[in-house]
Amino acid sequence: MGPLTVTRRHALALAAGLVSLSRPARAVPPVRPRRIAAIDWAALETVLALGVVPVAATELIQFRKTVVEPAVPDRVIDIGLRGTPNYEALTLAEPDLILTSNYYEVQRRNLERVAETLSLSVYQPGLRPYPVAEEVTLTLGRLLGREAEARAVVAATGAGIARLRDGLRGVARRPVLAINFGDARHFRAFGGDSMFGEVLRRLGIENAWATESSYSAAAPLGIEALARLPDAALIVVPPIPVAVTRALADSALWQALPTVREKRVSTIGPVNHFGALPAALRFARLVSAALLRQEGRRHG
């Protein structure tokens, strides 16, 4: 560490308790960004899927636990919560491109002080997330010089879902409802406008949740609402709060639901609720495996 040098600029800044806006004009942005930082998880997934390892990303502890794939190499620096990224850590990671989304618009002014910032939003009101995610993947591919990889990811995801759809063809057709538990009495449903809803459609499965859910963090439903959907197969998406499993086992209402009585409930592995193509494919794989297992149980 060098000696503490206080320049005139710092002295002025300290006097006012803040720093002037004037920074030396940044060098022309590099043609091909090499050091990527990801605020948004959908962008993080996509970048990793393109074979690019970012220098920094948010909430990696939680990402490894709840998104699982693609895996994040250890050398990626964790820069804290998505809502409040640590700008000091971000600056020290020296990115030359920051990827964010519409949910973090407030941060844009500060992110742009670190490096060039690109907002790529998979989830926008009125737009179907799957085609948008494809578009985002291709855009990132062009930007990072990985166009071939991007096209491959789009094609592989589409083909993967199509293959899974074929695999499900012989299986008895029921509407499927994908839900996430808040506690033992509340869930939220993934409607047709969510990424999972759209993957179900692409798998050729009817989504039991007919209404558009405007899938949000809130507006939980009581589990008695599940009684309205007696024919559905239920896919439970983690995270599942610890107390839920036991509470449901004791719940007369839950046990009385036709779906539960007829063992049409499956809990799948963790997957990103607001993900991009990798999450879509992972969800498709998990759901079709679960449905095939359910079918096997019924016949076996």
Partner 1 sequence: MAEPVHINRMPTNPALLWGGLALAAACLSAFQVTGHLVAGVSPRPGTAPLDGIILYHSVLPRIAVALVGGAALGLSGLLLQRVLRNPLAEPSTLGVSAGAQLAMTVALIHAPALMDHAREGVALAGGLAAVGLILALTWRRGLEPVAVVLAGMMVALTATMASAALILANGEYLFSIFIWGGGAMAQQSWEPALTIAVRLVAGIAAAVLLSRPLSILGLDDASARSLGVALNLTRFGVIGVAVWLAASVTAEVGVIGFVGLAAPALAHLSGARTQAHKLVAAPLIGAVLLWLTDGLVQLMAGIDGERVPTGAATALLGGPLLLWLLPRLRMFEWPSLDRRPSPSRRSRRPGRLVGAFALIAAIAVALALTVGYGPEGWTLSTGKLFSRLLDWRGPRVAVAAAAGAMLAAAGMVLQRVTANPLASPEILGVGTGAGVGLTAVLFLTAGSGIGLQVAGSAAGAVVVLGAMLALSLRSGFGPERLLLAGIAMGALCSAVLTAVIATGTPQAFALLRWLSGSTNDATPADAWFCAVTAAVLLTALPLASRWLEILPLGDVTARSIGLPVRRCRIALVLYAGVLTAAAALFVGPLSFVGLIAPHLARLAGLGRARTQGAGAVLIGIGLMVVSDWLARTVSFPYQLPLGLFAALLAGPYLIWLLGRNGPRSGQP
Residue with smaller CB distance to partner 1, 203 or 226? 226
Minimum Å distance from CB 177 to partner 1?
13
Minimum Å distance from CB 164 to partner 1?
28
The backbone torsions φ and ψ at residue 38, rounded to the nearest 5 degrees and listed phi first, read: -120, 125
Residue with smaller CB distance to partner 1, 1 or 28? 1
CA distances from 116 to 7, 30, 46, 50, 132 (A): 27, 10, 18, 20, 22
Burial of 46 (0-12, 13-18, 19+ CB in 10 A): buried
Minimum Å distance from CB 300 to partner 1?
25
Residue with smaller CB distance to partner 1, 103 or 128? 103
111 within 8 A of 99, measured Cβ to Cβ: no
How far is it, in rounded angstroms, from Cα 260 to Cα 264? 6
Residue with smaller CB distance to partner 1, 215 or 283? 215
Minimum Å distance from CB 209 to partner 1?
9
Residue with smaller CB distance to partner 1, 171 or 221? 221
Q: Which amino acid is at 121?
A: S
How far is it, in rounded angstroms, from Cα 188 to Cα 213? 9
Minimum Å distance from CB 85 to partner 1?
8
